Structure formats: structure tokens, C-alpha cells
Amino acid sequence: MSARGAAALLALACAASACGSTAAPAQPALRHAVTFDADLRSARVLVAIEGGTPRALRVARPRAIEGAVALPSGAALVTDGAGLAALPPGTDAVRYTVRLAALAATRDAEFPAAGLLVDPETLLVRAADGPARRIRARLSAAGGAHVVAPWAAGGGEHDVPPSVFDARGMIAVTPTPPLRVEAGGAVFDVAVLGPRAASDADLVRWLSAAAAAALPLGGDARPRHVQALVLPVRGASEPVLFGETFYGGGPALRVLLGGAARGDELPGEWVAVHELSHLALPRVRQADAWFAEGLATYYQEVLRCRAGVFDEAELWSRLRAGFARGAPGAGRDTLRRDSELMGARHGYLRVYWSGAALALAWDVRLRSEHGRSLDDALRAAARRFPPGAPPSDVAEILAALDAWLGAPFFAPSAGAALDARAFPDVAATLRDLGADGALPRDDAPLAAVRRAIAAPPRGSR
């Protein structure tokens, strides 16, 4: 493309997206036009530089960049370890190609059964110097494919949230248009990356039910837009095999769906409820998995009972079974150390279910001694530590919760649980609730608390 061609293309892009139509003169921007090639092996990027020529442009994966050129000079640009170096004075645009296949080794790009997933930070440049500049991007794909970014689906130029440079995220390019789900107070753009037995309507029903169950945990601070990446896996025996959450560029859910999963197997499964509850709760660091995973594990059962997926007897049976799976992993080291080293030690069951046991203990004591609930506490926490914000220090969250309650409660009880080698003692709590046997007992001292945990809270939706 000639320099004149590039300028004309930028002018066209500007006219089509009505940029500059807002009244206030905005901060200068690096305005990216990204086009994915039809074979999804590469993406061509043209960047209009506002706010003067910087000395250099930083890129996340310089080795995946090729053919970088400064405009209007047409000078070839050198790629060093940090990005595009030594921009000639007067450069007001650059173009380059990102080799997507080269990003697969670092998991910055994935090639599922259909389409592509790529971390947006690998496509974008940032100025190494000069004024602070917004990052804007217009994404498109050759050959009629559809693009679903964490911040928005479809065309048009958008501001790219700074979180793309701090956290993992994925842009999806798919041959089929994204599905749209509105549930739980949020809008979902759902990219489905491969063939599957479940219909579009099945997927919408499944994610709607999970969102309606999980997102209200975050109260007013819940996410309002969620990108969902559904990757069908051929030959899988389970309906949903795995889930994870991303935060780079906006909250996102990624799930591995059994390719043969039938529509009626999906609503009520636990993975989507668990992951979406993460998106509605304050974020903490990986080392504090006991907090994030404990809450998500407790609520994956409680929320599905409240939604009518199973009855109260089944809820308590599932929690007891989970505690029984978590207990054998305890005893060797403190919960604190096992949580910090969870990935290295593979002590997932101990950490997840110890955290869930603490969540149950919190919920029971808040309800029986303080006239509140863990739902109330988490909505208060989410207001102070919004779920989409960077990870918070869990000690700060616990201190804020104690201030909310007006009593030292969360921090001391968490401290005792974290310093313990043994699995939290749940037997007495379950007995007091009347939840220690096959059928819930209404003659137990805390039977009303037990029923309240299982019942949908009023006014929470």
C-alpha cells in the first residue's frame, strides 16, 4: 500500500466510524485498523499516530511482527526486543503484519476447530514516549468472518481498555456470527469456535441460566458486558470440560464444550456458574486462590439450588461430598502455603474446598449472629473492589468487610483457617444446620438458616 493509499484508507476509516464527532477534543490516540486475513495466518495492521511522532513503538511480541514500514516515508522499520525502533521524524502512521501462527507457541494465539483466538496486546502498539495516548482499534476480517473483541463485537472503532496490556484476553475470529445473550443484568457476545451438537438456542438457554444465577452476586458492580468464548471439543464425554475467566480488554468467559453435548445437558451444569461467579466477585491474586475459588466453589452449588437445578437435600449432599474430597489433601502444610503453591503442588481440591468450607462458616455465622448474609457481604465487597478491576490484596478486602460488618470477623476467621494445617471443621456446622444426613432436619437449631441459604434471596436480581 502506498503512503497516499494509507492516508486515504485512514480518512475513510475515520469517516465510517464518525470519529471526532464527540464535542470535546480528546486525548491523542494510536488508531489501529486491524484486518485478519481470510486464512487466519496473519493480521495486517495500520496505525495512525496522533500527538506527534514517538521515538519508538512498543509491541508485546516483536518476533511475530514483519514488514513494518513508516508512513508517509515508506521507510522500513527495524524490530528490536521491545518493538518498532527509530521512527523517522514526521512519521504519522505505521503498518505491519502480525504472523499469528508464530504466536501459537506462547499461547497468545489458538487455532480451535473453527476460527482463531488471539490476545489483543499482540496486535497493538504503544508509544514509548511522548504524550499519553489512547489506544483505539477497528477490527475486521477478510472473507466475511466475524470478530468478537472482549470490549465489543463487530465493526466500528472502539477505545481499547488499558487492561489488555495487564491481563490475558482473547479476540475471537469466527466463521459464524456471534450469539447475543442478555441475562443476569449483562449482555454477552458469544463466539462459538467449532461444530457442536447443541443448537444456538441451547447455548443461549445454558448461558442465560448461568448468568441469571451467578451475576447478581456482584450487585450493582456486576459486569454489564461479557465476552463468552465457547470451544467445542470433539469426542468429549462430558457436556462441559473446563472453564476459565479472562480480564484483558474486559471480562470474558472461556469454556470447553463437549462437541456431542445435548442441549438438555447444559442448563444447570456447574462450570459456567462457577466461572461467571468469578466475574461477579472481587479479583484477588493467584496466591489467594483459597478466597476466589472457595467462594466460587461454595456458590456453584448454592446458586444452582436456588435456581431450582436440584433440591435442598442435593445441595447439602454435594457440599458434604466436596468437603470429603478436599479433606484428604489437608494436613501436610497450612492452607496459606497450599494456596500460594496450588499450581505447583496441584492441591486444588484442598484449596477450593477449604475455601468453600470457610464460605459456609461465614454465611452461617453472618446469618445466625449478625442478621446478614454472605450475599450481602459480597455485594458490599464488589462495590468497593469492582470485579473488573485489577487484583486486590485479600487482606484489604477482609478489612473492608470487617468495617462493613462493624466487627472483627472476616480477617480473624480467615487468618485462623489459613494458619491451620487441618481441613476446616465443618461437622458441627452441618449438624447445627440439620444438614449432616441424607435428608435435611428441621428440628436442628439452625434449620431456618439452612433453608435461607438454599432459598433465592429476595430482591437480589
Q: Which residues bind Zn ion (CB under 5 A)?
A: 293, 296
Q: How many residues does the chain have?
A: 461
Q: Which CB, 270 or 323, lies closer to Zn ion?
A: 270
CA separation for the pair 85, 260 (Å, rounded):
49
Whole-angstrom distance, CA of residue 314 vs CA of residue 137 = 48
Between residues 149 and 230, which has the closer beta carbon with respect to Zn ion?
230
Contact between 178 and 152 under an 8 Å Cβ cutoff? The reply is: no
- Give min distance, CB of 190 to Zn ion, in A: 20
The minimum distance between CB 208 and Zn ion, in angstroms, equals 21
Q: Output Rg (C-alpha) for the chain, integer angstroms.
A: 25
Q: What residues does 244 pair with on adjacent strands?
A: 254
**Among residues 244 and 436, whose Cβ is nearest to Zn ion?**
244
Shortest CB 278 distance to Zn ion, Å: 5
Helices 348-369 and 289-306, packing angle to 10 deg? 60
Reduce the DSSP state of residue 121 to 3 states and report it. helix
β-strand partners of 189: 180, 227
CA distance 280 to 184: 10
Minimum CB distance to Zn ion smaller for 171 or for 295: 295
C-beta closer to Zn ion: residue 171 or 342: 342
Burial of 89 (0-12, 13-18, 19+ CB in 10 A): exposed
CB of 359 to Zn ion, least distance (A): 13
Q: How far is the CB of 352 from Zn ion (least distance, A)?
A: 8
Min separation Cβ 296 and Zn ion, Å: 4
Helix, strand and coil percent figures for the chain, each rounded to 5? 40, 20, 35
* Residue nearer to Zn ion on the CB measure, 83 or 282: 282
Q: Which is nearer to Zn ion, 158 or 318 (CB)?
A: 318
**What minimum distance in Å lies between the beta carbon of 386 and Zn ion?**
18
Q: Fill in the amino acid letter for 186.
A: A
d(CA 93, CA 64): 19
Q: Distance between CA atoms of 440 and 428, rounded to whole angstroms?
A: 15
